[in-house]
Each structure stands twice: as structure tokens, then as C-alpha cells.
Amino acid sequence: MSYTKRNDGRKFDETRPIEAKAGVIKRADGSAYFKMGKTTAYAAVYGPREIHPKFLQDPKNGKLRCFYNMMPFSSMGDRVRPGANRRAKEIAMVTQKALLPVVDLTESPNSVVDVFIELPQTDAGTRCAGICAASIALADAGISMNGMVAAVSIGRVDDKLVVDLDYSEESYEDGTVADIPIAVVSGTEEISLLQMDGELSRDELKQALEMAKKACSKIDKIQRDALKKKYGVKNE
Amino acid sequence: MNNQQKDHIISFFEKGIRFDGRKKLDEYRKIKVEKGFSENAEGSARVTIGDTIVLAGVKLSVEEPYPDTPDKGTMMVNVELLPLSSPDFEPGPPAIQAIEIARVVDRGIRESGAIDTKKLCIKKEEKAWSILIDICTLNDDGNLLDASALAVVAALQDTKMPSYNGKVVDYKKKTKDSLPLNLKKMPTSCTVSKIGNHFIVDPTPEEEEKVDARLTVEVEEDGTLCALQKGGDKSLTAEDIDKMVGIGIEKSKELRKFL
């Protein structure tokens, strides 16, 4: 068996349709909406603000805190119980690590920047959509950044490497699947998130990283356009 | 509380106007109800009132009925005041404000009898549909309670039953069947707030901070009250309450148009 045609008819290197919007949550200092196919994410940024408890203060640097949450009605089938489970905590941690390389908080010592990611509707690729939304929201909040972060999941479905797995591919039953979420820093094209589950050859990983870079450069443009749209900056 | 600010707000009320430009004390900001934002939920709705945004989603599952109501399905309402929606909300277990909203919204729907829970029973004492309703706030610009109540009703209306073969629920296959709802009974919620001697509806967070007392009035189509909740630190006279209920009933006619 071979995976010759994607379930939804996409090309192998094609992401699902993407929509991005900056400044969707008025109470937040910065916010964004990011939609990838049927996965939707909101991110809100608050801060820099005072950090509690106080012993967490770092006199040399501001802190970046990330939270990831699936809304209780967001998934197919059972309700997701509210509250951070192990999975949510791990994703929050890798999200923070994915964003840290571009965020400069040296000018806000003793403070914290909180990033809240919420998913109202999910169809795989939630951590990537969350990171994409968070990057826009951080920029929208005016946080000093030396680049943007875009993320996409590369998958190996049977014998094919594909960009941006949806749930039907993630749960493909006629062959094996590997899922590789990857975040790419704009400009340097360095990798700030890399996870994988499934089996993969060293060569396939190399290819996957190249595919992620390409897809992320497209996503980066969409993220920047969303910010330009909010601030009325015209494209050259 | 800053008294000067409160006096300032009241001086506006005396002229019949609000800080945000509204020209009436009993006027809601622009309301929008959008159903079906989610494919995975059995029903969903997004409600905006001014800049306040809430999402409500309905999940259905088949459970054993409670022993004291063996021929009825069940319903649960939960509110998540997401820290993403306001600098005042923190991550963690539900705060008392979230619990209050959830319980008041729950009561209105439960007591009105707008859901025919007997029709949710599949097999007496064994199987019945359980309705799990979650409300998530996206942006808190005041009046989360009324927005939540409206979102829940809209999400219930949007709900389609998944197919069930007697053993397992197939969530991928939604049927054309809706929930057994009686729209005439379905309540709308209007929270009337008292600041000084003035009664207002749909407060902004700025106004909410200065509320002396409030009364949430849930009303069925024919004007029957189906839930009340008094809040705020100060007390109300019987005349106050009558006036506030009057405003609530009057406003419910407007709110009903969004159902």
C-alpha cells in the first residue's frame, strides 16, 4: 500500500487553508486568531506585568509563561475535562521553548509576559496553530522580538512525507504514521520546536525539516500580513 | 472603590447617558449571535455584546440516569472564565464568579422546563442523553452573565443529535434531530444593576465595579419568571425589585429576537 492521494485532495506539500487575524481580544495587550483547516486557535498576551509569587522574579530578565488549553467542547467525541492535564502542560512547555528564542525581555526585568492559547475547535496540529497565533499576539502586544515563529506539523503517512497533517491523516489506518511538529524562526530558519512520534529514517527527518521551512515561510507571510492589516501597513 | 469616579458615572446617569456613548440606561450594546462555529461540538454559538465575546458548546453523551430521575436525561452547565479574556482572570479551578454564572444560567434553563428531559431518556433506569454545556469567555467587556445565557440557548438550538445504535454514539454522524426544546419556555436573561438610584442594563467592566446591587431576571416568552439572582453588596427595596423585574421583562422581548 502506498499513500498516493491525500484524504482531502491536497498536494503533499500543501497546508490546509490558513486564516490569521491580529487584535481580536480587546482586553488583552496583544492577541490573535489563527485557523488552519478545521483547527482554530486564539492567543492572548498579557504583560509585561508583575509576577506572583514574587520569588519567581528574575532581576536580569522578564519571564515568558505559556498556557495551552483545549476548550471542553473542542474535540470530536468526549468532552475534554477542564483544567491542565499532563498533555496540556507539556505542550505549554514546548510552546514556551518554541517562542523564547525570538522574545527579548531583558528590558522588563522582574516581570512576566503571559501567553494564553485556547482552542475552540480542533482537527490535529493544535500546538502548531497555537504557536502561530502566539507569535502574532506577542508582536501585537509590542513585545520586543527579533523574529517571528511559525509552526507546522510534517507527517509521514505510509511512504509519503506530507505537510500539515489533519486528523484523518494522523489516524490513518492503512499504514503507519509519524507526526513531527516543527517550529521555524523567521530569518535564521532555525528550529525552535521539534517533536516526533512514530518511526522515521534519518533521511526522512532531513526532508521533513526542509518541508517545514518552506511551509513556515508561507505561514510567516500570513502572520505578518495579519499584523500589517491591523496596523494599516501596506504591502510593498 | 474610587468615589469620585462613581459620582462621575452617576452624574452621567442623571443625564441619561453612559460613558461609552449609549443614550439610555436600559440599552444593550450591539448583540450578535452566530451559531455553529464548531464542527466537533454537537452544538455551538458565539455571542458578542459590545466587545464582550463568549463561546458556548454542547457535548452529548449517553449515561445512566440518576436514581432519583430514572426516566430523565441530565444537563450540566459549566463556565470557564478564561485568563485569555481578561487581566483579572487567573488560571486554575473555577472562581466563585464563574460558578455563579454557571449556576444561574443552569437554573433558568432547568426551571423553565425548556428542555423536555423525559424525551432524553433512551431506556428507563439504564440510558439517557446527558447534555454537557460549556461556556468559555473570549473577551470580558462586562455583562458576561447575560451573554453566557444567550450563548447557551443558541448553542442548544444549534445542537444536532449524533447517531446512536443502542451501544455506541457515532459522533461523526450527526442526525437531523434537534434536542427536545420548547422555545416558548426558553428563558432570556437580563441583569439589571443599581448604581446610586439608577437602574442600568448591560454594564461595562467600569460600571460593574461600581454596582451597588444587581438582579438577574430570567424570563420565559409569556413573561413568567423562571430564575432570579440578587447580587452586589447593598440591599434592595421591594419597590426596587419590582422596577428591576419590570425592566428585565421589558428587555427580554428584545433579547428573544436573537433566539
**CATH classification at residue B235:** 3.30.230.70
Residue % of chain A over a pLDDT of 70 = 99
Would you call B76 an interface residue with chain A, using a CB distance cutoff of 8 Å? no
pLDDT above 60: residue B62: yes
Within a domain: B15: no
> Would you state the pLDDT for residue B171?
95
Within a domain: B65: yes
**How distant is the Cα of A78 from the closest Cα of chain B, in angstroms?**
7
Residue % of chain A over a pLDDT of 90 = 93
Within a domain: A190: yes
Q: Give dist(CA A89, CA A66) in Å, integer.
A: 9
The mean per-residue pLDDT over the stretch A195-219 comes to: 97
Within a domain: A79: yes
pLDDT above 90: residue A203: yes
The per-residue pLDDT of chain B, averaged, comes to: 96
Within a domain: B221: yes
Number of folded domains in chain B? Answer: 1
pLDDT above 70: residue B144: yes
**How distant is the Cα of B56 from the closest Cα of chain A, in angstroms?**
8
Q: Measure CA B159 to chain center.
A: 17
Within a domain: A7: no
Exposure string of A5-21, with b = 16+ CB inside 10 Å and e = fewer, is: ebeeebeeeebbebebb
**How distant is the Cα of B50 from the closest Cα of chain A, in angstroms?**
11
pLDDT above 70: residue A236: no
**Chain B residues close to A117, C-beta within 8 Å:** 84
Q: Give dist(CA A118, CA A161) in Å, integer.
A: 29
> Would you state the pLDDT for residue B4?
87
CB contact under 8 A, A28 and B84: yes
Within a domain: B24: no
CB contact under 8 A, B38 and A121: yes
The interface residues of chain B toward chain A in range 209-238, judged by CB-CB distance below 8 A, are none
Within a domain: A37: yes
Within a domain: B147: yes
Please tell me whether residue A93 adopts helix, strand or coil conformation. Answer: helix
In which domain, by residue range, is B219 found? 30-256
**Rg for chain A (alpha carbons), in Å?**
18
The mean per-residue pLDDT over the stretch B207-218 comes to: 97
Is ipTM strictly over 0.85? yes
Within a domain: B166: yes
pLDDT tens-place string over residues A153-187: 999 999 999 999 999 999 998 889 999 999 999 99
> Would you state the pLDDT for residue B204?
97
- B196 DSSP 8-state letter: T
Within a domain: B61: yes
pLDDT tens-place string over residues A204-215: 999 999 999 999
- B115 DSSP 8-state letter: B
Exposed (0-12), middle (13-18) or buried (19+): which is B54, by Cβ within 10 Å?
buried
Within a domain: A8: no
Within a domain: A11: no
> Would you state the pLDDT for residue B2?
65
**Taking CA atoms, what residue in B is nearest to A84?**
B92
Within a domain: A2: no
**Chain B residues close to A116, C-beta within 8 Å:** 82-84, 91
> Would you state the pLDDT for residue B45?
98
Within a domain: A193: yes
pLDDT above 60: residue B185: yes
Within a domain: B22: no
Residue A1 banded pLDDT, cuts 50, 70, 90: low
CB contact under 8 A, B84 and A77: no
Number of folded domains in chain A? Answer: 1
The per-residue pLDDT of chain A, averaged, comes to: 96
Mutate to test the interface with A, among B134, B138, B169, B172 (most CBs of A within 10 A): B138
pLDDT above 80: residue A133: yes
Mutate to test the interface with B, among A31, A42, A69, A71 (most CBs of B within 10 A): A71
**CATH classification at residue A141:** 3.30.230.70
**More confident position, A173 or A143:** A143
In which domain, by residue range, is A116 found? 18-231
Angle between helices A126-140 and A202-231 (to 10 degrees): 40
pLDDT above 80: residue A235: no
